[in-house]
Structure 1
Amino acid sequence: MVITEVRIKLCEENNERLLAFCSVTFNNEFVVRDLKIIEGTKGTFVAMPSRKLTDRCTHCVGKNHLRARFCNSCGHRLDENRALRAADGRAKLHADIAHPIHSSAREKLQAAVVRAYQEEKERAKTPGYVCRYDDYDSDYEEADAAITYGGVVAEMGGKVLKAHGPHQPAQRGTHMGQPADAPAVKARTGDEFGAGIL
């Protein structure tokens, strides 16, 4: 694993624990976005992108976040202590989407991100500073998707494609691809399966 680029987006100073967001590029081929640089009790650390964990209501089987006290679907009261607990007793409310498999990879990633964070803080002090974190969207647009909406031509990854025009409303009683002069669909009687559906 070679970390080829780290981009940092510094947070406002009034945010006490969240210091910055970060994206990491591996081998100039794969990007992981939305890592968080957080000031913890034992120093600065990198939190991986994660999703909220959910469970199902025992009453209606609706999905709910683990912090929910009532079901979003039926309003049934939920057990507030239903989340799994970590070794330190804290509830496990999020699961990493992308993360290193072993500790040496995590240490390597964290060291690169924290180093880039310190460099970005120094760059932010210079006049005319511009954050490069949001450049990925424009990189993608320029390299892979120069699309003209309402036009005829689209370019995708260097290949020229023909764009289709706006969708035309289907004529009543016709099917996609069916010529307008084709025989009309037979109307169903009241006792056939699907009667009344046109």
Structure 2
Amino acid sequence: MSNHGSFSGNPKTEWLVDESGADRNMRLLEDFLYTDPDGKKWLAPSGSIIDGASIPRPLWSTVGSPYTDDYRRASVVHDVACDSPTIPRKDADVMFYHACIAGGCSFLQAKLLYAGVRIGAWTSSSLAPNALSRHRLLFRVPFKSVADEQFVQDKFQELAVDMKLLRDDATIAELDAVIDKHLQF
């Protein structure tokens, strides 16, 4: 196991047909597991519905789209953790950071993805309920307004500049300090 954890293998999934036409969801056909650096097991049980990395559509050209790159496996356990009423969002996001690295992301990519999910948590707790989305998790639905999209892109770009300045071995507290500088939790 790397110092950032390990996965049980590759997730086995099936595409689901969405009546709205989005066709982005998948169902897990087998249990999928991530073990974090502290030995905690993050289970995504068989039957869970996932929708890929929770990246806002306006950031797809910058960060990547939901089912591409080395963060795909991390997104599976993050999706399930974010849907759990017993797991604090912050804990799920920290797990996601480590899982991204365990999945093969560079430190910079993991830092930027972590900033992205923290922006998602910030928007769901700081903006008016319908400012960007009617859904509780901003990253799971398309944006409705160009102004809202530009706002998220600008916040992310501000964070990205500072994240790039951090060392590869920056702690979560150091990442959070940069994020807190840009966002008010």
Q: TM-score, normalised by structure 1?
A: 0.22
- Structure with the largest fraction of helix: 2
Q: Relative contact order: is structure 1 or structure 2 higher (C-alpha 8 Å, sep ≥ 6)? A: 2
* TM-score normalised by L of structure 2: 0.23
User: Is the radius of gyration larger for structure 1 or structure 2?
Assistant: 1
